[in-house]
Structure 1
Amino acid sequence: MESMIEEIYRSQSRRVLATLIRLLGDFDRAEEALHDAFAAAARTWPADGIPGNPFAWLVSTGRFKAIDTIRRRARFDASQHHIEDSLYTPEATYIGDMEPIEDDMLRLIFTCCHPAIPADAQMAMALREICGLTTEEIAHAFLVPAPTVAQRIVRAKGRIRAEKIPYEVPGHEALPQRLDQVLHVIYLVFNEGYSASSGEDVVRADLTAEAIRLARLLLALLPHPDVSGLLALMLLQESRRAARSSERGTLVLLADQDRSLWDHVKIAEGLALLAEAMRAGEVGTYTLQAAIAAEHARAPVAEETDWRRIAFYYDLLLAAQPSPIVELNRAVAIAMAEGPAKGLELIDAILERRELQTYHLAHSARADFLRRLGRRQEAIAAYEKALSLCRQEPEQAFLRKRISELAATPERQ
């Protein structure tokens, strides 16, 4: 029973929180109610059984416990007497003349992305409230101290309260101005699911599925090539999920994946969305990333991947969105097309600029190039550096395996 409650917490808690924020009108109050609801579940479900609709049970329990808390506090604080009257305000999001869409996760994303909130706080809040990451995990992702992340989130919540930022999807006239931030949040949610930053799983399928669901909903709200491009990218990446880890949960590299396990329905939908986005004229960064994913999807075997074309797309992406992460991925593509020596040269240049020093994938890629060049001791050192920075257990196991293999291999003469 305990493991089942943990799984429900993992898969449902962020949706429960989003709905409680709407019902209670306050982030902190909703988080307290969420924890109270799961504490009640841990006490009652082992005896009574898991309800038929755990989500509804948790929302109802959390809301009533919050109301009880407010009533108790109101005895001592006159300012809280009228809070209970405003705990539920029906809201709806409309698509033209269609039926209203009730979606608290989408409301939560738009609230986190309100222009009154600084961009760095928007991202921190989104990862905390939507993905459920700890401040330490967010700090690791952004390469900043954990107290800085905590302060950003506290200030953002204070701004929401002080400016009475509505918990809603804005009207059509305001959607385009908020689109970039919202797409970025959905992208972050998907990335955290696609390659979990820590823990024992390669993939968090609950997050990838939620990101895809939200992108579909956003595309219905606002048909736009950037939304199509992001949805195409996520579908093409998600199509490989079943092949990315073995039955024992170990990591399987792209080149070694059983492509018969790829979801070809998702691939077909992703390719169709990509073609639609490409026809729109100006090609956005998500569409370029989707084009890269499409090259992998089209290759029947790893050896037939068009790495030169992928490198070309990375050139375009780097021009549109300069970043050391894009440079790293471009270096890998060039190494696959021109050889590991060229890739090593490019990665060393990035690291010499003191960029990506704490990013384990940069050291892992460098180690792979050194391994392919036969520079065993240097490769071991680079893999050990990557291992010291890695927080995901399957990746840690893969890195240890590489180190063990190299340690048993004689040095090339």
Structure 2
Amino acid sequence: MTSAGLGAAIIAARPAVVAALAARFRDLDLAEDGFADAVELAMRQFADAPPPGNLGGWLHVAARRRIIDRLRRKARLAELIAAQPEAAEGEDMDTVSLFDEQIPDERLRLIFICCHPAIAPEARAALTLRVVCGVPTERIAAAFLVATPAMAQRLTRAKAKIREAGVPFETPPPHLWAERLQSVLATLEIGYALAFQDAAGSEPTADLGPEVLRLTDMLAELLPDDPEVLGLAALVQLGEARRAARVDAAGRMIPLSEQDCTLWDNRLIGSAARAMQRAAALGRSGPYQLMAAIHLTHARRKAEGRTDWAAILKLYDLLIQLRPGPVVAINRAIALARVEGAEAGLAAIEALGDEKIERYRPWQAARAHLLAQMGDREGAAAAYRKALALSPAWAERLFLEAKLRETSA
């Protein structure tokens, strides 16, 4: 296996390993540090040898032993250390080549832990994305429109709060889920949004999309009478249904309106439609159901041959009342441009402009697109350059570069 292949396999194993370590040792920093130690060992040991078939199990055991070593050296948590199994006599971690241990799936439990009410609301989703999903701090900071150092401090404070408040590392009983559920849903939504930006699967979040799909499906099974849980599950299913159509042969991102809808997954679209029907029958609407309805309207292009942009604009008008914010406003402006023309859409985009949103890549990209439609090639090129300076994922970068060439020609 190449070093790139080994790195990708390690990234894929990270969420399960870190979640299991955090559940065992009840310390998020220890879990992350132990995993980092195990990765360093793996990169040395498997540089010139094939990794074990169960790399995740290998990393779990290696990290667990390194954590126990850390605890012994620091002479703390004696009771916890005593409860851990000793390594077999004579066993040397540098010579172990295979562990068959199966890692327990602790991720959904750890998400609920990271969304404990004792943690500041603005830190819950960020902490979960960092610890459970392994999203780099700079990516999380960009998603929340804050500077990376500020986000790093927020994460440090949240971890300290878990330690200081004695937050139990256990899934709360169902009657206490309500106080954490909105944070859990927001975390899964943001995690999926980060994965969705990476159309080509080239970033560390490459496996996050299918993982969020699995977790939202699991949550919908646990809470089948919560319409917003069903709405989020449907939203993720509709996003994943388009995965095969999101990049071209050159690896360049394809916008939704230009995708080959024959490549969309009918099974996932049908499953999402059924989830939305169940949610509607419960009679309590909410933002996740509205977002899913918008994506289902897009999905109907496969059967109807056209996109009902007027219906999408009406849905965004409802959504922005329930959830005002830049993401919804930008998407609404794009829909408005489809219905009333590029000038109306650009006016809506420009009305959002401030120093903070100018650092938000989707705003720059949407503005560039609408300027190009209006014939302002120079303004569009400048906006595309600004979008490219804001660290897009590889597939989006290729798309933006192509658009920049078009407007600069």
TM-score over 0.5 for the pair: yes
Distance 1:85 1:173 in 2: 34
How big is the shift at 1:128?
1.2
Partner residue in 2 for 1:83: 80
Distance 2:406 2:148 in 1: 36
Partner residue in 2 for 1:37: 38
Partner residue in 2 for 1:179: 181
Partner residue in 2 for 1:60: 61
Equivalent residues of 2:198, 2:206 under 8 A apart: no
Distance 1:407 1:264 in 2: 39
How big is the shift at 1:377?
1.9
Measured at CA, do residues 203 and 81 of structure 1 come closer, stay the same or move farther in structure 2, by a change above 3 Å? Answer: closer
Equivalent residues of 1:376, 1:406 under 8 A apart: yes
How big is the shift at 1:80?
4.1
How big is the shift at 1:338?
1.6
Q: How do 1:290-301 residues align onto structure 2 when only pairs under 5 Å count?
A: 290-300=292-302
Equivalent residues of 2:238, 2:292 under 8 A apart: yes
Question: What do residues 323-357 of structure 1 show as CA deviations (whole Å, max 9, x unaligned)?
Answer: 12211111111111121111111111111x55622
* Runs of 5+ unmatched residues, structure 2: 86-103
Distance 1:363 1:301 in 2: 32
Distance 1:396 1:45 in 2: 32
How big is the shift at 1:301?
7.7
How big is the shift at 1:303?
6.4
How big is the shift at 1:234?
0.3
Distance 2:296 2:77 in 1: 55
CA RMSD of aligned residues (A): 2.2
Distance 2:203 2:31 in 1: 30
Question: What do residues 88-126 of structure 1 show as CA deviations (whole Å, max 9, x unaligned)?
Answer: 9xxxxxxxxxxxxx6310111011100000012212212
Partner residue in 2 for 1:376: 377
Partner residue in 2 for 1:49: 50
Q: How many residues align?
A: 389
2:361 is aligned with 1:360: yes
Larger RCO: 1 or 2 (CA < 8 Å, sep 6+): 2
Measured at CA, do residues 87 and 25 of structure 1 come closer, stay the same or move farther in structure 2, by a change above 3 Å? Answer: farther
Question: What do residues 340-395 of structure 1 show as CA deviations (whole Å, max 9, x unaligned)?
Answer: 111111111111x5562211211211221121122222222222222222432322
Equivalent residues of 1:195, 1:203 under 8 A apart: no
Distance 1:62 1:235 in 2: 34
Equivalent residues of 1:25, 1:87 under 8 A apart: no
* Runs of 5+ unmatched residues, structure 1: 89-101, 409-413
> Which of 130, 151, 154 pairs up with 2:153?
151
Partner residue in 1 for 2:228: 226
Question: What do residues 180-224 of structure 1 show as CA deviations (whole Å, max 9, x unaligned)?
Answer: 111111111111111139x97389451011111111221222221
Equivalent residues of 1:193, 1:203 under 8 A apart: no
Equivalent residues of 2:11, 2:204 under 8 A apart: no
Distance 1:202 1:6 in 2: 12
Q: Structure 1 counterpart of 2:28, which letter? A: F
Partner residue in 2 for 1:95: none
Question: What do residues 50-72 of structure 1 show as CA deviations (whole Å, max 9, x unaligned)?
Answer: 22322222111211222123223
Give the secondary structure class of the aligned counterpart of 2:302. coil
Partner residue in 1 for 2:211: 210
Partner residue in 1 for 2:93: none
Equivalent residues of 2:126, 2:187 under 8 A apart: no
Equivalent residues of 1:243, 1:258 under 8 A apart: yes
Distance 2:73 2:164 in 1: 24
Partner residue in 2 for 1:125: 127
How big is the shift at 1:30?
1.2
> Which of 336, 345, 348 pairs up with 1:346?
348
Distance 1:397 1:280 in 2: 43
2:387 is aligned with 1:386: yes
Distance 1:218 1:391 in 2: 30
Moved more, 158-167 or 283-292: 158-167
Task: Name the TM-score, length of structure 1 as normaliser.
Answer: 0.88
How big is the shift at 1:139?
2.1
Distance 1:165 1:293 in 2: 37
Measured at CA, do residues 124 and 221 of structure 1 come closer, stay the same or move farther in structure 2, by a change above 3 Å? Answer: same
Measured at CA, do residues 271 and 202 of structure 1 come closer, stay the same or move farther in structure 2, by a change above 3 Å? Answer: farther
Equivalent residues of 1:23, 1:87 under 8 A apart: no
Q: Percent identity?
A: 38
Measured at CA, do residues 151 and 122 of structure 1 come closer, stay the same or move farther in structure 2, by a change above 3 Å? Answer: same
Partner residue in 1 for 2:314: 312
